[in-house]
Amino acid sequence: MEDQYQQDEQFPGWKYAFLQYAIALAFVLLLAGYWRLQIGQYRRYLDQAERNRTRNLPVIAPRGRILDREGRVFADNFPAFSVLLMRENAALLSPARSEGIARGLRLDPSEVARLVERTAKLPRFQPVVLKQAATMEDIAFVESHRVEYPELDLLQVQQRLYPKGQIAASLLGYVGEVSEEMIAAPGSLYRPGDVVGKSGIEGFYNSILVGRDGMRRVIVNSHGQEVGSLTTINALPGNDLRLTIDLDLQMVAEAALGESPGAVVALDPRSGEVLALVSHPSFDPNEFAHRVGRETWQQLTTDPMKPLLNKAIQSHLAPGSVFKIFTAVTALETGTVTPDYTVHCPGAVTIYGHMYKDWVWDKGRGHGSVDFHRAIVISCDVYFYTLGKLLGIDKIAFFAKRLGLGARTGIDLPNESSGLIPSPEWAQKVLKRKWYAGETISVAIGQGAVAVTPLQIAYAIGGIVSGGVFRRPHLAFRDQLLALGMKPPDEEDRRFPLAGATVETVSKGMWGAVNEGGTGGSARSPGLDISGKTGTAQVVSASLKDSGGKKAEFRNNAWFVGYAPSHEPEIVVSALVLQGEHSAVAAPVVRDVIKAYYDKKASRVAPARVEQMQTKVLSQVMELRQLVPLKAGTP
């Protein structure tokens, strides 16, 4: 064997040279390739490597809390998770990926696609919120699909929490995802997925409550998991907002109105501070804290009782006999009659050839001889029909508007209704017809086209009994707004000085209505100096009502406005009970609130108990939120 190999001739030398040159050439090509990447495109690849390893995560600023006047919490935050879509490597998702993500997070695939498309133009480093209030399943999906979907990440956010549920919900409003219009608005700093106040206080004072989000630059691995942190821009929390609302009064007002649809407003006429503001039926703002479920939304928007409407400031309805106070003031201020002016009430009166019935007509009697004071006490329609005829619509409308009706009060809540004080000009302009003299007679007792809000009634009556000083109702303390650099609304307190005698006469009338066996007797409370005026407003004409039988929607709306004490009142409360049929159901609501106001003033025991109860409720809610991940649509 050995010999055989040794005798072998060698292979030709050129073959080795060829091999060596071939190898060397290959290495030159390789080196050229590495040169191109490492020297030629160094910057570009360095950028990409940097983008790979870093991720910009927003640090969500907690929204300011909303507190009552004593610092008790109406709206707070609790930690939750949002699912983010990181877009550093690709602004758009392929349809398959988008669908996979939608399926994993149980979102509507078309919604995800739309969101991605909508946000394609935003800077790549800004992540997009795919889903708020991630459930345990969502979090598990993101964590277990880090490899498949590295573009998903979780962000700890501050979820809005309303520990008191439906209490003051209409007033507080709710938060939700910022709308596209808001994002597009000039000077807007909002990004899709940002949470903003949508209505109520949350909406009106959004700029105070909203914080400024920070940013964290972190190092991530290829699975998107955070392995280190580079820089942090701290989030600026939103400012807390203290309201003029007194939680104790609010709770009492909520309870007093109970299940009945309607509204309650309690004001301090000396300052315009709103002490309580209730609208029923209401809603649970916690359900809006993330995307509200379709079912819930449907239910809220189709409910005939309009839970999303803040009836205290938005429902404008005929005030009924409450309006007699305005007719009375007009009559006295214009000197049309004096307090000793007397009318005989046989139960009805014929004016302009039409018979106007008094509310006692159905009882088969009249009020007999009635003077000014008595007319207010027993709410004699015939007396005020007569005054209406004497005054005419122009004077009534002029005074009603000066006394705070027919225009927005300027409360710091969005979408306040202005109500309506009809006039011949209004008829001409809106109805394109002449004003009928007979309409004046109806207006004089608060029927016809007159429309007011419960807030306006409390505001106007409070202003009248305070001698014509109308303090703009407000929920945020002026000093606080100034300290936060926000200019309080322009509409200032208004003055329309009334003669002392006028104020005295109508006040006494309202005191009598409650305390002299008048129509407001159910507002009477021993030891309390409560005055007030009832109102029962027909929703439909009497004849239609008779034919309609006892249909709920044809039932009269019940009004009551009360205040205490009778001189220089500290609190004025209006209550509206929709379909309450009789004003006697509204009066006790007002009485309860005023009583609570004085009880609280007299002792500090009650609030402590209430606070205790609330703390318990709060802790229960917190527990619930942590244990059971919120699902859209579940109560």
Partner 1 sequence: MQKATSLRDLDWVLIGLALTLAAIGVVEIYSTTAHSALAAQYKKQILWILLGFVLALVVSQIDYHIILEQTPWLYVLSVLALAGLLVGGRSVAGARRWMHLGGLTFQVSEMVKLVIILLVAGYFADKRSRYVTWGGLVKLGALVGLPAVLVALEPDLGTALTFIPIAVAGVFLAGIRARQVAVLCLLGLLALPVGWHFLRPYQRERMMSFVRLTHDTQGSSYQVTQTKIAIGSGGFWGKGIGNGTQSRLGFIPVSHADSIFAALAEEQGFVGTLFVLLLYLALLLRLVDGAQMAGDRAGAILLVGFAAVLFFQIAVNTGMMIGYLPVTGIPLPLMSQGGTSVLFTFVGLGLALSVKVRQFVN
Instruction: Select the residue interacting with partner 1 from 156, 179, 222, 232 (CB under 8 A).
Output: 222
Instruction: Select the residue interacting with partner 1 from 220, 265, 317, 575 (CB under 8 A).
Output: 220
Kindly tell me which of 54 and 334 has the beta carbon lying closer to partner 1.
54
Asked if residue 42 binds partner 1 (CB under 8 A), the reply is: yes
Kindly tell me which of 47 and 568 has the beta carbon lying closer to partner 1.
47
Secondary structure (H, E, C), 356-415: EECCCHHHCCCCEEECHHHHHHHCCHHHHHHHHHHHCHHHHHHHHHHCCCCCCCCCCCCC
Of 15-23, 119-127, 180-188, 336-344: span binding partner 1 (CB under 8 A): 15-23
* Contact map string, positions 560 to 579, toward partner 1, x by CB under 8 A: --------------------
Instruction: Select the residue interacting with partner 1 from 70, 71, 89, 612 (CB under 8 A).
Output: 89
Secondary structure (H, E, C), 185-200: CCCCCCCCCCEEECCH
Smallest gap, in angstroms, from Cβ of residue 5 to partner 1? 4
Asked if residue 430 binds partner 1 (CB under 8 A), the reply is: no
Of 6-14, 239-247, 449-457, 602-610: span binding partner 1 (CB under 8 A): 6-14
Instruction: Select the residue interacting with partner 1 from 144, 223, 304, 432 (CB under 8 A).
Output: 223
Closest CA to 285 of 167, 203, 405, 396: 167
Calpha distance 89→48 (Å, rounded): 9
Do 556 and 434 form a contact (C-beta atoms < 8 A)?
Answer: no
Output the CA–CA distances (angstroms, integers) from residue 431 to 99, 233, 422, in the order listed. Answer: 55, 59, 11
Instruction: Select the residue interacting with partner 1 from 215, 219, 449, 606 (CB under 8 A).
Output: 219
- Ranges within 535-554 binding partner 1 (CB under 8 A): none
Longest Cα–Cα distance in the chain: 153
Locus of tokens 């015939």: 382
Closest CA to 323 of 399, 417, 424: 399
Of 19-27, 210-218, 324-332, 512-520: span binding partner 1 (CB under 8 A): 19-27
Q: What is the DSSP letter of 133?
A: S
Smallest gap, in angstroms, from Cβ of residue 58 to partner 1? 22
Q: How many residues bind partner 1 (CB under 8 A)?
A: 48
Of 42-50, 512-520, 552-560, 618-626: span binding partner 1 (CB under 8 A): 42-50
Smallest gap, in angstroms, from Cβ of residue 191 to partner 1? 24
Of how many residues is the chain composed?
635
Smallest gap, in angstroms, from Cβ of residue 225 to partner 1? 9
Tell me phi and psi for residue 408, to 5 degrees. -65, 145
Smallest gap, in angstroms, from Cβ of residue 628 to partner 1? 35
Residues 6+ apart with CB under 8 A from 522: 584, 587, 588, 591
Kindly tell me which of 10 and 302 has the beta carbon lying closer to partner 1.
10
Tell me phi and psi for residue 73, to 5 degrees. -85, 125
Secondary structure (H, E, C), 81-132: EEEEECCCCCCCCCHHHHHHHHHHCCCCHHHHHHHHHHCCCCCCCCCEEEEC
Residue 14: count other Cβ atoms within 10 Å of its Cβ. 8
Peptide bond into 307 cis (omega under 30): no
Asked if residue 46 binds partner 1 (CB under 8 A), the reply is: yes
Do 376 and 446 form a contact (C-beta atoms < 8 A)?
Answer: no
Asked if residue 232 binds partner 1 (CB under 8 A), the reply is: no
Kindly tell me which of 15 and 294 has the beta carbon lying closer to partner 1.
15
Asked if residue 39 binds partner 1 (CB under 8 A), the reply is: yes
Asked if residue 120 binds partner 1 (CB under 8 A), the reply is: no
Calpha distance 73→242 (Å, rounded): 9
* Contact map string, positions 138 to 157, toward partner 1, x by CB under 8 A: ----------x-x-------
Smallest gap, in angstroms, from Cβ of residue 118 to partner 1? 21
Calpha distance 578→586 (Å, rounded): 9
Asked if residue 4 binds partner 1 (CB under 8 A), the reply is: yes
Smallest gap, in angstroms, from Cβ of residue 48 to partner 1? 5
Residue 510: count other Cβ atoms within 10 Å of its Cβ. 28
Kindly tell me which of 4 and 350 has the beta carbon lying closer to partner 1.
4
Kindly tell me which of 43 and 550 has the beta carbon lying closer to partner 1.
43
Residue 131: count other Cβ atoms within 10 Å of its Cβ. 25
Of 45-53, 177-185, 309-317, 331-339: span binding partner 1 (CB under 8 A): 45-53
At 621, the amino acid letter reads: V
Burial of 3 (0-12, 13-18, 19+ CB in 10 A): exposed
Partnered with residue 534 across adjacent β-strands are: 560
Strands (E), 6-72: 54-59, 66-67
Smallest gap, in angstroms, from Cβ of residue 87 to partner 1? 12
Of 213-221, 492-500, 523-531, 598-606: span binding partner 1 (CB under 8 A): 213-221
Kindly tell me which of 49 and 305 has the beta carbon lying closer to partner 1.
49
Kindly tell me which of 223 and 344 has the beta carbon lying closer to partner 1.
223
Smallest gap, in angstroms, from Cβ of residue 143 to partner 1? 16
**The two three-digit tokens of residue 525, written as one number:** 């409370």
Kindly tell me which of 88 and 592 has the beta carbon lying closer to partner 1.
88
Peptide bond into 186 cis (omega under 30): no
Instruction: Please tell me whether residue 220 adopts helix, strand or coil conformation.
Output: strand
Instruction: Select the residue interacting with partner 1 from 48, 156, 298, 541 (CB under 8 A).
Output: 48
Instruction: Select the residue interacting with partner 1 from 70, 71, 90, 95 (CB under 8 A).
Output: 90
Residue 108: count other Cβ atoms within 10 Å of its Cβ. 10
Q: How many helices (H) and strands (E) does the chain have?
A: 25, 21
How much is the CA Rg of the chain, to the nearest whole Å? 35
Kindly tell me which of 150 and 488 has the beta carbon lying closer to partner 1.
150
Kindly tell me which of 20 and 547 has the beta carbon lying closer to partner 1.
20
Asked if residue 25 binds partner 1 (CB under 8 A), the reply is: no
Pairing type for strands 241-242 and 262-268 reads: unpaired
Kindly tell me which of 66 and 102 has the beta carbon lying closer to partner 1.
102
**Which residues in this chain contact partner 1 in the complex, by CB under 8 A?**
1-2, 4-6, 8-11, 13, 15-16, 19-20, 23-24, 26-27, 29-31, 33-39, 41-42, 44-46, 48-50, 52-53, 89-90, 148, 150, 219-223, 227
